[in-house]
Structure 1
Amino acid sequence: MSGTKSPHAGLTRRSFLKTTGAVAGAAAVAGGALPAMQALAADSGASAADAGEKVMPGRCFFGGCFSCNYNVTVRDGRAVKVSPDPDALFGRRPCLKGYSLPQRMYSQERIKYPMKRVGERGENKWERISWDEAIATITEKWKGYIDEFGGQSILVSTGSSGARFTVSGASRLENILQFTNVEMCADWAVYHGLHRVYGNPATGIMTAPGNEPFEEDIFNAKTVFMWGNNLSETYVQRWRYLMEAQKQGAKIISIDPNETTVSAHADEWYALRPGSDPALILSMVQVIIEEDLHDVAYLKRDTVGPFLVREDTKEFLRMSDLGVAPTEGPVNPQTRKPTIIDPPVVWDAAANKEMSSAESTDPALEGSWTVAGIKVTTAYSLMVESVQEYKPETVADIVELSSEDIRRLARLATEGPVSHMFGLGLQAYDNGLQFGSGLGLLLAVTGMVGKPGAGVQATAFMGMRNAQFLFPTGTFTTTIPVLHLPEVMETGMFKGKKYPPFKSLYIRGSAFVGGRPDKNKLIAEIIDKLEFIVCLDVAFTDSALYADIVLPAAHYYEVEDVYGSPLSYHMQHAPKIVEPAFEAKPDLQVAKLLAEGLGVGKYFEGDDESWLRAQLDFPALKAQGITLDALREKKDMRYIPAGVAYKDGKYYTPTGKVEFYCEKPRPRVDLGLDLDVAPERLPRFFPPHEAWPETETMKKYPLILIPEHSRGRFHTGGFDGVWLNEIERGPIVRMNIEDAKARGIEDGDDVEVFNDRGSGVARVVLDAGKRPGMLQYPKGLQGRQYKAGDLASLCSLHMDPFAVNSSFSDTCVEVRKWDGGSK
């Protein structure tokens, strides 16, 4: 099929409506029948044996979401409609993203066949090829690179092109060949801050010290703080539970720069300055301590508050400093070496002397002493001293709230049980980590952890990766954050050592281009410098646009899979609902083809079912009776016990205590940098890097641009939802009315949003609820969906070296009417 100019030519909305007789509109998306796209069905792979209609159990596998249970109607071998399952265990009401999945499966954006580029990168000119040719081309290139430069010369941007749990098969291949994994650096800063304080039971997974299930525990809360969280848009399935909890007496406190649906329904709304949340939290802690509202018992029992900190090293005084030799503890399952037990020292109030923290029953929370000639102070006293600079009268101008408001918020934070929910906008500033560690401190001071209705309602951990399956040869990928990758490519050095040159990039279901900050720089400094790029995905994304070979991946309706839902605490089974459309293949089958071509096929014997069984075959799941057969029968099986988490002093920190004082701060990702850890031991506030008054950038570009989640998309997943995009009516940017008036901009105008990094054209929606000086746009569209430019190009690659996280909202821009220039 030489000469094909587009990977998705042929079907328009007009021809679709004419063919199917469907009626366009939101009602059809929100639960009405979605007729099969007959114009695409002819070559979708459906056969006469598929004729008829049946209803299958389905679910969404959007990462970080509910994985809602629902029914999928299959007609003539094609998924045509999603409808609620009244008997589902949870998530009985899919959101718009879920309802629109059948339409997206057969969208004109669907990648149907393997293709190779025939024009320049980004030119969108392609030629259809066979799977045999595609695999042969890829493996021949990769074998050459591996032989000459080693497996590390091949970059992998890892996402999920369709399957969820089964994607581990591709990771197995990458570990065997020791590819370089590009870490995406998104949504981690707040979690890393929380992990500093409360630890992380599952490395590499976003966790928070809250209870579950949310749908039950939220009704135990007396007060719910919503930190920059517009739940009604981002997680509509949870929104109804929050509203019901409010009806039953829970008080909702919204802290958000902008007016949102949540703030409109909240009992109280506080519109603080964007990026100032850490300062507000630390001021609240100062008030709580000043007004004697802190939980002394919790601080003494569960935190490092009583631990003595050496004045010279700023680390905990330990029994070995007093001449008591450390002992060996249980073997660490990861290092396979005994743990070293060397207890911190406290000042025992009853005995009036220093004592091992493991033995003291009455440790002093405050004070300074000299022990064995070493000057020491309790961690709690150091924390109290540190928050004195955040008194409400000082912080009021920073956060743009009155000192009375700050004091009221502090008191509300003690009216427990208190639950906190944060939006990921808070992690999108340079100081996002400090919000996480500050929130951890607030929880510690108020004792709002380990009791019903208290803690952080966020994501659960998924401790269910089979190491034997993932690492059969004992070799691993090397991880380099995407924010650091341009520097590694320029210098050829990583962690102070020479690193092999990068020759190829395998984009596996990842928004590498378009989903990251500073798109133009990533293209110029990474994409343009690579010899060979492969993209495996379901839909034709911006990443595919820059590939040399594009492979069609199966949608998760087209493969049997299991998934550990992070918001439902269940392992969930998803049957294959339909056969893969067109020439799409599941991730595992693609990994097998690549492995055979690369000479490591012996590690990929078997089929999808046998691989699923292998990945589920490890002690943590077997002990709970979780097997593929059991999941097929029960659909959902809980893998974490229900109830209150982080209780009975069980924390996942080095000391086993709540570490609001961090003895040895570490970056989220080790980049081999020489970092100053002193400012990181206690939570602090520092202004955002760019989006803050008086920065040089903001003097030039006075508006702050922040992304928001859309009801119709999960990050870039859903850009191909035609009807949902029509509801939004193209790329938009929400703008304060007065800001628009000052620039001669009217509602509905096309405007160019720009800074030194790039520009993007969007339609203005005037919104009195938007804070002056701020612009907000729904994220997730592809660059070609803009009339010109791309708003994703405006964000910076700057990072805090401890958070190693993208600061999407730390972005300054200006706006002008668009002159209609070409893209």
Structure 2
Amino acid sequence: MSINLNRRAFLKLSGGVAGTVAVSGTWDVLTKEQIASAVTTDEGTQVIPVLCNHNCGGRCQIKAHVKDGVVVRITTDDRPDLENNPQLRACLKGRATRNRIYHPDRLKYPMKRVGKRGEGKFKRITWDEATDLIAKNLKKIVDQYGPHSVYVNYATGDEGAMAGRTSAKRLMNLMGGYLGYYGSYSSACLKYTAPFVTGYRDTNTYQTLHHSKLIILSGFNPAETVFETNSNYYLAKAKKAGAKVIVIDPRYTESAATFGDQWIPIVPATDTALFSAMAYVIITENLHDQAFLDKYTIGFDEEHMPEGVPAGNSYKSYILGTTDGKPKTPEWAAAITGIDANTIINLAREYATTKPAQLLQGLGPQRHAQGESSTRAGIVLAAMTGSIGILGGGWGGGEGGRKLGLDVGELPTGDNPVETQISVFMWTDAVVRGTEMTEKDGVQNGPLKSNLKFMWNLGSNTLVNQHADINKTIKILEDESKLEYIVVSDQFMTPSAKYADILLPSDHAFERYDFGFPWTGEEYILFGNKAVEPPGECKHDYWWMSKVAEKLGLGEKFTEGKTQEDWMKQLVEDAQKADSQFPSWEELKKKGLYRKDTIEYVAFEKEIKDPANNPFQTPSGKIEIFSKTLFDMKNDEIPGVPKYTPAAEGPEDPLKEKYPLQCFGPHIKRRTHSTWDETPWMEEAEPQTMWINPEDAQARGLQDGDKAKVYNDRGALVIPVRVTKRIRPGVVSIPQGAWYTPDDKGVCQRGCINILTSQRPTPLAHGNGQHTNLVQVKKL
């Protein structure tokens, strides 16, 4: 049966799904009668597997129903839904893709800027003119400043094997290289910090959750953010098996409503204080696994410290207050976290005595000003309870990083001759003072030989919208003597696209062949067909990049005689060599999916079962609760053991006198970062609103639905408020990803949180600390 789902039915069903899941805890929520009441059949269409290749954790199978060259409806995975191989069902965003591909505001022609940068004034030009201008300006800048001056900006609007950033990197490597980056806006602290403790970043698969007796979701909200297509299915399966779920979050999220047996509303940026107090209870009540700690860790107590470290620097000494005179008691943490001391005590006891237990750390807490410490502290708790390397245990880590996945590649980029890299969050600094930056500023293998002068911004809204402190960023971009040339490729006139010198219309995943890769290393791959033709003169980035390469005299080396489709066929052939079961090109076109049976993967299992032959990949070969590498940096913000440090613009900052509310930007189900903000159906499904507790609303004369101004020293925005007890007092949340839409005074009318956020990086990873902000709110 082909399903025809109109807007009203779509919204009805998406709301019905959420409501039913919250009550029943099962995912078989729609009866045949419910579906029949909302859909109709339609014959005579071709059903084509396509991709939803945006930067969310889900990699779902969606199918385009095409009639007369037009996508007339979207359906999802209809394979047999097996317990250990469940369907890859699309969410409401993927099912609304027609809203995007046929949106009247899609860019359709190449353009060049004719006004001041940022005004959004452009003139239509030909592709030949566009590629000529790009080639000339790129060559001029590389000749004048060298390859360090060119930057391929962080871009996740397209996550496919043929994403535009791969074409840009391939071209730049043929020209002598480019300045690279490390980390990500999403998980910089987790990626950078976890290896200091365990040697590499890894986590158990969600398929193991049903073995857990206790699951703590710490800042982890898969019901809305989708960390894997079936992460919610596996949580529901764990609940059915009897697992208790505790949610630690400033918001009563949909994950808390759906799965939570207990909600613990924490003050933002204080997770390390909570974990420290839990460690205090576990130690003082002798609930820790001393045998595990003795065998597999270093630095927990004074008896197991690296040589040459002064006494009093172990984790246990810090927790008991041996050195600083401040025991990290539940009462101490209660004053910081806003969590009652008895709640902390009970949480610690339950976590330590329930076997096995899983602490799933989300990415939100590590996007705070001291995000590295909470990541480390969570791993330490897992080690203290012997929960690492066992089925049903683990310390989580949000999106994963598991040592799984299929051996399927992307467009080859070659080797970058430039070894220097910057933290992805520090690119604005590299524009202003690149040659002055050092290792303390997040530069690796430096120094930079030039400030940034040329920017490839392909499928990216981080140029403006998703980067912190928008007002500071746009002042940098408006100065054409700094970043001299910006090439943007996108589907819409995003806030970032307005700052382009050359603006190019990109095709959509439905309009080309590509692969879709799951975030978490699950062993499947999605294949997307070219289902329809792109509108206007929209082209894939590889196509026009090959024209630029040709004009630079590198056309043959860049393409090797291959079209974009040819490269995809080459990737399939390479995958078949690595895996004899990998499907042929024609099979992939028909099925759109290659999947191996799901497995229960346990991170660090081999290190725990056979440490002699599989030591942890750390200097000591053990889990480093104390890191001598970090200790030797002699930085108070990067101690040898994870310590709670009050954050700038956190709950203890004196700035609270002026700006009394903490503000952070959660991910929500209607957007993938900033993608889908332009889509009408998504706005109807979930409007952009700020959550505020009734106590804080009453003090400001605010009622539900009122518009409020939210501001600090960096900027201001206007947004409707949702007055709700689902957020703790003293905290407001503004969903990240809304498109920056300033009035003539620079006040954002759409509610883009990054008008308020800081470019202050985290101390070790130099990552994104955009969740730590102080603001004031007043009624308009």
Instruction: Please report the TM-score for the alignment, with normalisation by the length of structure 2.
Output: 0.83
Q: CA deviation at 1:788?
A: 6.6
In the alignment, residue 517 of structure 1 is paired with which amino acid?
Answer: A
Q: Which moved more, 1:430-439 or 1:300-309?
A: 300-309
- Shift of the 174–501 alpha-carbon distance from structure 1 to 2, 3 Å rule, reads same
Q: CA deviation at 1:64?
A: 4.4
Which residue number in structure 1 is paired with residue 666 of structure 2?
Answer: 708
In the alignment, residue 186 of structure 1 is paired with which amino acid?
Answer: S
- Shift of the 193–478 alpha-carbon distance from structure 1 to 2, 3 Å rule, reads closer
Which residue number in structure 2 is paired with residue 26 of structure 1?
Answer: 11
Pairing of 1:442-457 with structure 2 (within 5 A) = 442-457=381-396
Mapped partners of 1:659, 1:221: distance in 2? 25
Q: Deviations over 1:639-693 (max 9, x none)?
A: 99653231021544344422222221399xxxxxx76279422111111211223
Where 1:535 maps in the other structure, the secondary structure is: strand
Q: Which moved more, 1:82-91 or 1:696-705?
A: 82-91
Mapped partners of 1:136, 1:558: distance in 2? 25
Where 2:741 maps in the other structure, the secondary structure is: helix
- Shift of the 464–603 alpha-carbon distance from structure 1 to 2, 3 Å rule, reads farther
Where 1:413 maps in the other structure, the secondary structure is: helix
Match among 583, 598, 612 for residue 552 of structure 2:
598
Mapped partners of 1:708, 1:401: distance in 2? 21
- Shift of the 308–609 alpha-carbon distance from structure 1 to 2, 3 Å rule, reads farther
Structure 1 position 257 matched with structure 2 position 250: yes
Which residue number in structure 2 is paired with residue 507 of structure 1?
Answer: 457
In the alignment, residue 493 of structure 1 is paired with which amino acid?
Answer: E
In the alignment, residue 423 of structure 2 is paired with which amino acid?
Answer: P
Q: CA deviation at 1:151?
A: 2.3
Q: CA RMSD in A?
A: 3.4
Q: CA deviation at 1:782?
A: 0.8
Which residue number in structure 2 is paired with residue 553 of structure 1?
Answer: 506
Q: CA deviation at 1:441?
A: 0.6
- Indicate conservation of the 8 Å contact 1:114/1:551, yes or no: yes
- Indicate conservation of the 8 Å contact 2:691/2:721, yes or no: yes
Q: Deviations over 1:493-518 (max 9, x none)?
A: 23374632433222111122110110
Mapped partners of 1:273, 1:782: distance in 2? 27
Q: Deviations over 1:446-498 (max 9, x none)?
A: 11122222114432347779999745355246432354344444334233746
Which residue number in structure 2 is paired with residue 60 of structure 1?
Answer: 52
In the alignment, residue 508 of structure 2 is paired with which amino acid?
Answer: H
Match among 473, 489, 506 for residue 522 of structure 1:
473
Larger radius of gyration: 1
Q: CA deviation at 1:250?
A: 0.6
Q: Deviations over 1:209-268 (max 9, x none)?
A: 22x2x1x31211110101122332222853343234223311011112232333345222
Match among 207, 215, 220 for residue 229 of structure 1:
220
Pairing of 1:607-686 with structure 2 (within 5 A) = 607-612=563-568, 614=570, 622=578, 626=582, 629=585, 635-638=593-596, 642-649=600-607, 650=614, 651-665=616-630, 676=635, 679-686=638-645
Mapped partners of 2:647, 2:39: distance in 1? 47
Q: Which moved more, 1:708-717 or 1:614-623?
A: 614-623
- Shift of the 619–493 alpha-carbon distance from structure 1 to 2, 3 Å rule, reads farther
Which residue number in structure 2 is paired with residue 434 of structure 1?
Answer: 373
Mapped partners of 2:178, 2:40: distance in 1? 42
Structure 1 position 804 matched with structure 2 position 766: yes
Q: CA deviation at 1:532?
A: 2.0
Mapped partners of 1:180, 1:282: distance in 2? 39
- Indicate conservation of the 8 Å contact 2:300/2:626, yes or no: no
Where 2:605 maps in the other structure, the secondary structure is: coil
Pairing of 1:460-479 with structure 2 (within 5 A) = 460-461=401-402, 470=412, 472=414, 475-476=417-418, 478-479=420-421
Structure 1 position 383 matched with structure 2 position 315: yes
Which residue number in structure 2 is paired with residue 764 of structure 1?
Answer: 721
- Indicate conservation of the 8 Å contact 1:753/1:814, yes or no: yes
- Shift of the 614–55 alpha-carbon distance from structure 1 to 2, 3 Å rule, reads closer
- Indicate conservation of the 8 Å contact 2:203/2:602, yes or no: no
Pairing of 1:357-436 with structure 2 (within 5 A) = 382-388=314-320, 389-414=327-352, 415-436=354-375
- Shift of the 773–22 alpha-carbon distance from structure 1 to 2, 3 Å rule, reads closer
- Shift of the 84–25 alpha-carbon distance from structure 1 to 2, 3 Å rule, reads closer
In the alignment, residue 765 of structure 1 is paired with which amino acid?
Answer: R
Which residue number in structure 2 is paired with residue 147 of structure 1?
Answer: 143
Mapped partners of 2:53, 2:457: distance in 1? 19
- Indicate conservation of the 8 Å contact 1:558/1:576, yes or no: yes
Q: Deviations over 1:260-312 (max 9, x none)?
A: 333345222222222111111122122222222222333233333599999xx
Mapped partners of 1:486, 1:96: distance in 2? 35
- Indicate conservation of the 8 Å contact 1:469/1:614, yes or no: no
- Indicate conservation of the 8 Å contact 2:149/2:453, yes or no: yes
Q: Which moved more, 1:701-710 or 1:119-128?
A: 119-128
Which residue number in structure 1 is paired with residue 91 of structure 2?
Answer: 95
Mapped partners of 2:627, 2:409: distance in 1? 30
Structure 1 position 687 matched with structure 2 position 646: yes
Q: Which moved more, 1:296-305 or 1:90-99?
A: 296-305
- Indicate conservation of the 8 Å contact 1:225/1:255, yes or no: yes
Match among 232, 235, 239 for residue 239 of structure 1:
232
- Shift of the 305–120 alpha-carbon distance from structure 1 to 2, 3 Å rule, reads closer
- Report percent identity of matched pairs: 29
Which residue number in structure 2 is paired with residue 747 of structure 1?
Answer: 704
Mapped partners of 1:375, 1:798: distance in 2? 31
Match among 56, 61, 65 for residue 69 of structure 1:
61
Which residue number in structure 1 is paired with residue 684 of structure 2?
Answer: 726
Where 1:661 maps in the other structure, the secondary structure is: coil
Structure 1: give runs of 5+ residues left out of the alignment: 1-19, 37-50, 201-206, 318-373, 668-673, 819-823
Mapped partners of 1:125, 1:803: distance in 2? 37
Structure 2: give runs of 5+ residues left out of the alignment: 16-34, 321-326, 439-445, 608-613, 743-747
Pairing of 1:548-587 with structure 2 (within 5 A) = 548-567=501-520, 568-587=522-541
In the alignment, residue 65 of structure 2 is paired with which amino acid?
Answer: T
Q: Deviations over 1:68-99 (max 9, x none)?
A: 12322112222232223220654532111111
Mapped partners of 1:666, 1:610: distance in 2? 51
- Indicate conservation of the 8 Å contact 2:55/2:673, yes or no: no
Which residue number in structure 1 is paired with residue 423 of structure 2?
Answer: 481
Q: CA deviation at 1:539?
A: 2.5
- Indicate conservation of the 8 Å contact 1:218/1:241, yes or no: yes
Q: CA deviation at 1:626?
A: 4.7
- Shift of the 552–628 alpha-carbon distance from structure 1 to 2, 3 Å rule, reads farther
Pairing of 1:65-464 with structure 2 (within 5 A) = 65-87=57-79, 89-162=85-158, 164-167=160-163, 168-177=166-175, 178-181=177-180, 185-200=185-200, 207-210=201-204, 212=205, 214=206, 216-235=207-226, 237-264=230-257, 265-304=259-298, 316-317=306-307, 382-388=314-320, 389-414=327-352, 415-457=354-396, 458=398, 459-461=400-402
Q: CA deviation at 1:33?
A: 7.4
Mapped partners of 2:581, 2:301: distance in 1? 42
Aligned length: 706
Q: CA deviation at 1:623?
A: 5.6
- Shift of the 376–537 alpha-carbon distance from structure 1 to 2, 3 Å rule, reads same
- Indicate conservation of the 8 Å contact 1:557/1:576, yes or no: yes
Mapped partners of 1:64, 1:268: distance in 2? 27
Mapped partners of 1:304, 1:639: distance in 2? 37
- Indicate conservation of the 8 Å contact 2:477/2:499, yes or no: no
Q: Deviations over 1:168-202 (max 9, x none)?
A: 333222333322246654332234333322222xx
- Indicate conservation of the 8 Å contact 2:718/2:750, yes or no: yes
Where 1:783 maps in the other structure, the secondary structure is: coil
Which residue number in structure 2 is paired with residue 534 of structure 1?
Answer: 487
Q: Which moved more, 1:494-503 or 1:518-527?
A: 494-503
- Shift of the 134–275 alpha-carbon distance from structure 1 to 2, 3 Å rule, reads same
Mapped partners of 1:636, 1:653: distance in 2? 35
